[in-house]
C-alpha cells in the first residue's frame, strides 16, 4: 500500500510512531555483503526527516557505512503493535556544536566522558524512504521521497 501523504505528513506520522521508542536496531552492510544490526539509543528530539545517533569513531558500523552508506533503522514496539522501518544513508559528523545541541544526560551510560571523549561522534542518517505498520490493521504503508 503506497501512501498519498505529503512529505510533511509522512514525517509527522513517523515522528508520532517512534516517539518514546528509546532503542532502535541500526543495520549496515559489511564489506563482504553481510548485514549487521545493533541496538542504538535514539534522540528524544522530534523526528524531522533526519535521524541522529551518538557513536564512537572507531567502531565497526562506522567502517561499514563509510564503505556502503545504505543503512536501515528499525523501531519495534510490540506492546503497541508499532513497527517502523527507515531506509537512508549514514554520514559521520564530527561537529561539536551539533553534539552539544543533541547531548542528553542518559547518554552518560554509554559515553561516561561525555563530549570530552576524543572518540565521540555523531551519525546523521538522511532518510530516503520509510514504511510503517500501524495497529489495528497492521497494513504496511510506504512513504517515499522523504
Of 127, 129, 126, residue with least CA distance to 144: 129
Establish if 53 lies at the interface with ligand FMN (CB under 6 A). Answer: yes
Strands 140-143 and 120-133: antiparallel
> From CA 121, how far away is CA 142, in angstroms rounded?
31
Considering only residues 63-122, where is the footprint of a second copy by CB under 8 A?
A: 68, 70-72, 74, 76, 78, 83, 85, 87
84 with 20: CB under 8 angstroms? no
Q: Binding residues for ligand FMN, per CB under 6 A?
A: 23, 36, 38-41, 53-56, 59-61, 83, 110, 133, 138, 140
Binding site for a second copy (CB under 8 A): 22-23, 25, 27, 29, 33-39, 68, 70-72, 74, 76, 78, 83, 85, 87, 128-129, 131, 133, 140
Amino acid at each position: 500500500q503506497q501512501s498519498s501523504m505529503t512529505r510533511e505528513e509522512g514525517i509527522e506520522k513517523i515522528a508520532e510512531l517512534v516517539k518514546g521508542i528509546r532503542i532502535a536496531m541500526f543495520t549496515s552492510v559489511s564489506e563482504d555483503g553481510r548485514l549487521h544490526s545493533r541496538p542504538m539509543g535514539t534522540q528524544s528530539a522530534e523526528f524531522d526527516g533526519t535521524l541522529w545517533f551518538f557513536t564512537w569513531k572507531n567502531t565497526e558500523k562506522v567502517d561499514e557505512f563509510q564503505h556502503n552508506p545504505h543503512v536501515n533503522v528499525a523501531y519495534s514496539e510490540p506492546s503497541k503493535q508499532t513497527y517502523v522501518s527507515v531506509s537512508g544513508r549514514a554520514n559521520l559528523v564530527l561537529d561539536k556544536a551539533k553534539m552539544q545541541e543533541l547531548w542528553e544526560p542518559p547518554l552518560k551510560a554509554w559515553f561516561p566522558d561525555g563530549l570530552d571523549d576524543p572518540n565521540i561522534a555523531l551519525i546523521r542518517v538522511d532518510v530516503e524512504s520509510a514504511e510503517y505498520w500501524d495497529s489495528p490493521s497492521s497494513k504496511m504503508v510506504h512513504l517515499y521521497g522523504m
